[in-house]
Amino acid sequence: MFVTDIRKEFYEVVANQRVALLVAPDVDALCACKILQALFHCDQVQYTLVPVTGWQDLGTAFLEHKEQFQYFVLINCGANVDLLEMLQPDDDSVFYICDTHRPVDVVNVYNDTQIKLLIKQDDDLGVPSYDDIFRDDDGDEEGGDSGNESDEGSEPSGKRRRFDEGAVERRIERQRAKREWEARRREILFDYEQYEYHGTSAAMMLFELAWMLTKDTKDMLWWAIIGLTDQLVHDKITRMKYITDVGTMQRHVSRHSHRNEDDENSLSIDCMRISFEYDLRLTLYQHWSLYESICNSCYTSSSFKLWTLNGQKKLQEFLADMGLPLKQVRQKFNSMDMSIKENLRDVIEESSNKYGMKDIRIQTFGVHFGFKNRFLASDMVHATAALLESTEKEDSDNFIKALDALSRSNLERLNSGIELAKKKLVAVQQTVASCICTNLILSQGPFLYCHLMEGTPDVKLFSKPMALTLLCKYLLKAFVCSTRNKRCKMLPLIMAAPKDVEKGTVIVAGIPPESETSDKKNFFGRAFEKAAESTNSRTLHDHFDTSIIELKSEDRSKFLDALITLLS
């Protein structure tokens, strides 16, 4: 059931309880978790935080904690499956689900007792009506017909035959109506569940709660902004949805700025200032050199086709056109001459227009911690994601490090995340270049397909879902920019990378076609399930995003053949 008053129906209920907080491994979920932790801290609510990496993990975590807890809060997991069917909880367990995954499972929507959805209903949910998918079978009517047969002896035979014929006809009619209703139900559910997509950021939802409680702080606002930016960076929402949500966040930023004008501490050394700005689509450029940022940002790298000699030449012309000395461009951004930095954005925008990059600027937010530390929201997303999926340490450790990096008191951790993010972006661009130059992207009819072989440089990085999704997005954009085949420009992409060599598994991700106007709806989740079913492929559908699965290497070819047949 949808919670209509998040304050009364959620917060005031859990405020006097012990709560288990189950959090998915993505940046938006971490930001939502930070906001809720701050609120719980404020009101001294007891809670236990449990990171959950997938459905199996969620099941295990629930089993371990169901004895101690009645209330469970699930962040970015749980909305898109029949949760009660999956977890089989006792009748007194209550689940509050704040999840961006759509579509929401219909059983969760219509369960009034144990499932409470903290989900924005003005998102385009399109939930089918109750009567279209649930039906009370009229068992009593069936019984009524058979019951009449016990009176056989008391009726004259001719009358009885006519009565029986009427009963049989009614029964046949009911069965026909039931079959029609079931066929219609399957159709409605198929239309509703066919595509996977994402709704309003979980961090934004919980920030709204903090605002209703009048307990929202600048830190909470900044986390909500990072949660929203994560959806843009990892291509989860449409550009239109992003711009709408940026407008909402901008109003909160203005409100907090006005509040701080009266505050004499707003110029202290540990102050925090958030600003709305039109900044460059150059990843991490303020923490890198401008040259490296241009080379490793998806937008500029694809526009210039930097994997070709011609593209490299074009980049040199672009830098010359801006009148920026190479010495300045190749050194750390912080060390560039102030005179160059002051109007850098305008200079880059002017030259970008000449080179066909009309969207080099994007609406975003920046933050100042104290006087010298400045970060863009996208810097925070890349750094947090890199820490979360770091291949250097174990996963639970990564979760805590990523959570720490979001606190402004832990700039050291954030900076180490930024260094990891740079390595990841370089690896992504090098892999994109090698895939395109060696023609690894094959058209399989209804989709494009690329398989990274064991032994590819940095292949271990891409065994993680966020890194693989980012690689898919960059690779598809680069391919669309470089191919002359118009049909290929309209196709989605499936990518496979080695997951566990010893177990012989690969991780497979599918993304929708590349286009600025794309609705970001992904049909691969359903398609993967059907292809695995029809071929008995050994797959593991354990990720909260259904369009990412694990598959046995030997089953790859039959699985792909089934997908081609299914989608043709």
Fill in the amino acid letter for 277: E
State which H helix or E strand residue 449 sits in: strand 448-451
State the 10-residue block means of pLDDT for the chain, 568 residues long: 87 90 95 95 91 93 91 93 90 92 91 90 80 68 44 50 73 88 89 90 94 92 96 92 93 84 55 89 92 93 92 91 87 87 88 89 90 88 94 77 90 92 94 92 91 88 93 93 84 92 92 80 91 91 93 91 90
By the 10 Å C-beta count (0-12 exposed, 13-18 middle, 19+ buried), 460 is classed as middle
C-alpha span between 24 and 52 (Å, rounded): 5
Would you tell me how many other CB atoms lie within 10 Å of the CB of residue 208? 20
Residue burial 281-314, b: 16+ Cβ < 10 Å; e: rest: bbbbbbbbbbbbbbbbbbbbbbbbbbbeeebeeb
Cross-strand partners of 274: 367
C-alpha span between 295 and 299 (Å, rounded): 9
Nearest to 78 by CA among 115, 125, 124: 115
> What domains are defined for the chain?
6-127 (3.90.1640.30), 271-427 (no CATH), 441-567 (3.10.310)
pLDDT of residue 372: 78
pLDDT of residue 128: 85
pLDDT of residue 139: 46
CB neighbour list of residue 12: distance below 8 Å, 6 or more residues apart: none
The token duo for 225 is 């902004």
* pTM of full prediction above 0.85: yes
pLDDT of residue 124: 73
